[in-house]
């Protein structure tokens, strides 16, 4: 096992990784921008190295500075977290060239899944069902529109280099195709420097189900599914495991497809295989299709940890250290139900506008797991992702877990910035969601109800502010 690792990330995921490393007796090195000099992840690590100014391009994306920090501090391996350099094959190559271990898959595996068109072609060859559509090289406008016509309306235009829900446009009829194509391309060019697109059949009222997988380079296992259907603008808001209505047949079929995907690329480490599911007639083994594979630890991994009782970061570290897969498929437990809600600094009534501010107060109830990288007094800056925390609740049944989640959201105290807390609270108490009637359009259909001006929450925030102001200043 490693004696010392460097974490090339910040915020909640850096703190999350440091906690497991410490439990395994591993020393940790944090890296930070000048904006993060006093951040929680820096305070938690055994050592910290400054790697540049606030802009990610000058710090958390500076592969050279990060590798130099690892060499200087004697770290043997680098954990990339998610986002930033986690899915950058050139970074993996550079880390390995420096004689260090990358805690994650090979550069080759990342590259083969990096572009959605190539990934779909690869999965098709491996016998994994993919979303019907066109993912060829011909990017001519008329050709793409012809492909859409052949697939049948409505279709989804997707950036092949896409991520985080960007570069995607749904098109219902031929008259709207040209404009949608132009805007998907320009968003893709700006966000990814690549304007190539693919066309997919738009699955109506779909569910997003994804399989957590682990590989050791040869063999692979899955740690069951997560349902991430509660989304807004193609971004996940509340995730859960297992999926409501899951059947043994569907789980076996999806698990087999995910493991086949991992084996096809000799996958090593943690990964997620994302599928889109037509659940208009229940969950049926012939109605799920591969969308993409994320070759890293996923934001929502805690729900899988809650239902399996396993530590996914521990698995990543053990596999990277050469131990092989910790458990065989038949030994992986599945107990109860879990939810995760993503608490963001954002203005929901204003259209989910990212917000900033200094947290005058931040406190979570002890009844749940709260993964966070900020404390009372810390600042949510415009430089990085505005996620404040992930609230994770587990219970013996879905109803109990959801009740715990809703209660925990209501008992969370946050002041100093606008947040989506009230929105999450309403979502957790939504009757359709409680019945497990989830699909990716639920939030949009119910937005007026879910996003109304948060009057009661304001009162709570004001009370918390007063309380925080009255409390004597103490060590954080
Ligand atoms: P999930 O939330 O399921 O883990 P996402 O695709 O939403 O997966 O991305 C997770 C993290 O990776 C987020 O922090 C997001 O900002 C970041 N991310 C996703 N795609 C990209 C990308 N193309 N470039 C930079 N960061 C990305
Ligand atoms: P990203 O890399 O941005 O995460 P994905 O391909 O994973 O892109 O898609 C993100 C989300 O967009 C999915 O979770 C789903 O809600 C929606 N989506 C993707 N493909 C389809 C499709 N063919 N039909 C309907 N919705 C889709
Ligand atoms: Mg995705």
Which one, of 98, 129, 99, 96, lies nearest residue 110 by Cα?
96
Amino acid 164: pLDDT: 87
Q: Is the preceding peptide bond at 242 cis, omega within 30 degrees of 0?
A: yes
Give residue 64's domain range: 4-99
Same domain, yes or no, for 329 and 396?
A: yes
Same domain, yes or no, for 158 and 243?
A: no
Measured N-to-C along each axis, helices 421-428 and 398-410 cross at an angle, to the nearest 10 degrees, of 150
d(CA 104, CA 373) in angstroms, rounded, equals: 22
Q: What is the pTM of this model?
A: 0.93
CATH number at residue 294: 3.30.470.20
Residue numbers annotated as active site: 296
Ligand 2 surroundings by CB, under 6 angstroms: 131, 156, 162-165, 200-203, 206, 208, 231, 234, 274, 276, 291-292, 440
Q: Which residues of the chain fall below pLDDT 50?
A: 473-476
Which one, of 45, 42, 39, 85, lies nearest residue 65 by Cα?
85
Identify the sign of the CA torsion 130, 259, 227, 295: negative
Q: What is the number of domains present in the chain?
A: 3
Give 280's DSSP letter.
Answer: B
d(CA 439, CA 151) in angstroms, rounded, equals: 22
Strands, E, within 217-316: which ranges? 220-232, 235-241, 268-278, 288-294
d(CA 276, CA 231) in angstroms, rounded, equals: 13
Same domain, yes or no, for 212 and 195?
A: no
Atom in ligand 1 nearest the alpha carbon of residue 210: 3
d(CA 198, CA 157) in angstroms, rounded, equals: 6
Ligand index nearest the alpha carbon of residue 233:
2
d(CA 65, CA 52) in angstroms, rounded, equals: 8
In-domain check, residue 288: yes
Instruction: Identify the bridge partners of residue 415 per DSSP, sorted by sequence position.
Output: 361
- Reported as a single tens digit per residue, the pLDDT across 87-142 is 999 999 999 999 999 999 999 999 999 999 999 999 999 999 999 999 999 999 99
In-domain check, residue 366: yes
Ligand index nearest the alpha carbon of residue 203:
2
d(CA 320, CA 79) in angstroms, rounded, equals: 10
What six digits make up the tokens of 67? Answer: 């590798």
Q: Whose CA is nearest to atom 2 of ligand 2?
A: 163
Same domain, yes or no, for 194 and 219?
A: no
Same domain, yes or no, for 355 and 271?
A: yes
CATH number at residue 45: 3.40.50.20
- 3-class secondary structure, 40: helix
Amino acid 10: pLDDT: 98
How open is the CA angle 409-412-418, to the nearest 5 degrees?
A: 95
In-domain check, residue 466: no
Question: Is the Cβ–Cβ distance between 404 and 368 less than 8 Å?
Answer: yes
Same domain, yes or no, for 273 and 415?
A: yes
In-domain check, residue 220: yes
In-domain check, residue 216: yes
Alpha helix positions (H), 35-88: 40-44, 63-73
What six digits make up the tokens of 96? Answer: 């390995």
Residue where a domain stops, chosen among 56, 77, 99: 99
Question: Is the Cβ–Cβ distance between 339 and 434 less than 8 Å?
Answer: no
d(CA 376, CA 299) in angstroms, rounded, equals: 22
In-domain check, residue 140: yes
d(CA 393, CA 408) in angstroms, rounded, equals: 8
- 3-class secondary structure, 149: helix
**Can you give the length of the chain in residues?**
476
Residue where a domain stops, chosen among 77, 99, 121: 99
> Residues 278-310, buried b or exposed e (16+ Cβ, 10 A)?
bbeeebeeebbbbbbbbbbbbbbbbbbbbbbeb
Same domain, yes or no, for 214 and 190?
A: no
What six digits make up the tokens of 190? Answer: 């700006």
CA 275 to centroid of ligand 2, rounded, Å: 9
Amino acid 55: pLDDT: 97
- Rg over alpha carbons for the chain, rounded to the nearest Å, is 22
Which one, of 8, 64, 74, lies nearest residue 41 by Cα?
8
Same domain, yes or no, for 364 and 440?
A: yes
Which one, of 311, 416, 456, lies nearest residue 369 by Cα?
311
Give 310's DSSP letter.
Answer: -
C-alpha distances in Å from residue 430, one per residue of 129, 427, 436, 438: 33, 5, 10, 11
Same domain, yes or no, for 141 and 189?
A: yes
Same domain, yes or no, for 77 and 175?
A: no
In-domain check, residue 211: yes
83 CB near ligand 1 (under 6 Å): yes
Question: Is the Cβ–Cβ distance between 87 and 110 less than 8 Å?
Answer: yes
Same domain, yes or no, for 251 and 312?
A: yes
163 CB near ligand 1 (under 6 Å): yes
Tell me what percent of the chain is helix, strand and coil, each rounded to the nearest 5. Answer: 35, 25, 35
CB-based contacts of 200, cutoff 8 Å, min separation 6: 131, 132, 133, 151, 155, 156, 158
In-domain check, residue 110: no
d(CA 272, CA 275) in angstroms, rounded, equals: 10
Atom in ligand 1 nearest the alpha carbon of residue 387: 14
Same domain, yes or no, for 324 and 245?
A: yes
Q: Whose CA is nearest to atom 20 of ligand 1?
A: 163
Question: Is the Cβ–Cβ distance between 241 and 307 less than 8 Å?
Answer: yes
CA 370 to centroid of ligand 3, rounded, Å: 23
CA 445 to centroid of ligand 2, rounded, Å: 17
Amino acid 474: pLDDT: 41
Identify the sign of the CA torsion 393, 395, 398, 404: negative
CATH number at residue 190: 3.30.1490.20
């Amino acid at each position: 096992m490693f004696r010392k690792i460097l974490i090339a990330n910040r915020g909640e995921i850096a703190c999350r990784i440091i906690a497991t490393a410490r439990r395994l007796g591993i020393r940790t090195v944090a890296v930070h921008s000048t904006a993060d000099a006093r951040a929680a992840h820096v305070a938690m690590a055994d050592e910290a190295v400054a790697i540049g100014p606030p802009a990610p391009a000058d710090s958390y994306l500076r592969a050279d500075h990060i590798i130099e920090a690892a060499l200087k501090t004697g770290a043997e391996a680098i954990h990339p977290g998610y986002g930033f350099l986690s899915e950058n094959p050139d970074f993996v190559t550079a880390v390995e060239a420096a004689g260090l271990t990358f805690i994650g898959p090979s550069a080759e595996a990342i590259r083969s899944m990096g572009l959605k068109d190539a990934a779909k072609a690869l999965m098709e060859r491996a016998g994994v069902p993919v979303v019907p559509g066109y993912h060829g090289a011909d990017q001519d406008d008329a050709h793409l529109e012809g492909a859409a016509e052949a697939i049948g309306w409505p279709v989804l235009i997707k950036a092949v280099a896409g991520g985080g829900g960007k570069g995607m446009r749904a098109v219902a009829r031929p008259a709207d195709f040209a404009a949608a194509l132009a805007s998907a391309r320009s968003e893709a060019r700006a966000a990814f420097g690549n304007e190539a697109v693919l066309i997919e059949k738009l699955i109506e009222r779909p569910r997003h189900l994804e399989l957590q997988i682990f590989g050791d380079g040869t063999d692979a296992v899955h740690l069951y599914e997560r349902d991430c259907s509660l989304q807004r603008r193609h971004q996940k808001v509340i995730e859960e495991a297992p999926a409501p209505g899951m059947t043994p047949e569907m789980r076996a079929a999806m698990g087999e497809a995910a493991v086949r995907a991992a084996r096809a690329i000799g996958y090593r480490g943690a990964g997620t295989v994302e599928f889109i599911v037509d659940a208009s007639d229940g969950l049926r083994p012939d109605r799920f299709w591969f969308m993409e594979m994320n070759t890293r630890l996923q934001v929502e991994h805690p729900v899988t940890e809650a239902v399996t009782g396993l530590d996914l970061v521990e698995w990543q570290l053990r596999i990277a250290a050469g131990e092989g897969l910790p458990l065989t498929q038949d030994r992986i437990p599945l107990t109860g139900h879990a939810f995760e809600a993503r608490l963001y600094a954002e203005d929901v009534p204003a259209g989910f506008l990212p917000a900033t501010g200094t947290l005058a107060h931040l406190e979570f109830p002890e009844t749940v797991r709260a993964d966070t990288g900020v404390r009372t007094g810390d600042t949510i800056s415009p430089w990085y992702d505005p996620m404040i925390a992930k609230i994770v609740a587990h219970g013996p049944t879905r109803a109990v877990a959801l009740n715990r989640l809703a209660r925990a959201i209501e008992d969370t105290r946050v002041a100093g910035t606008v947040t989506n807390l009230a929105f999450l609270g309403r979502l957790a108490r939504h009757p359709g969601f409680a019945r497990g009637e989830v699909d990716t359009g639920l939030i949009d259909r119910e937005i007026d109800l879910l996003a109304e001006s948060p009057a009661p929450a304001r009162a709570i925030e004001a009370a918390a502010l007063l309380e925080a102001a009255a409390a004597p200043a103490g060590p954080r």
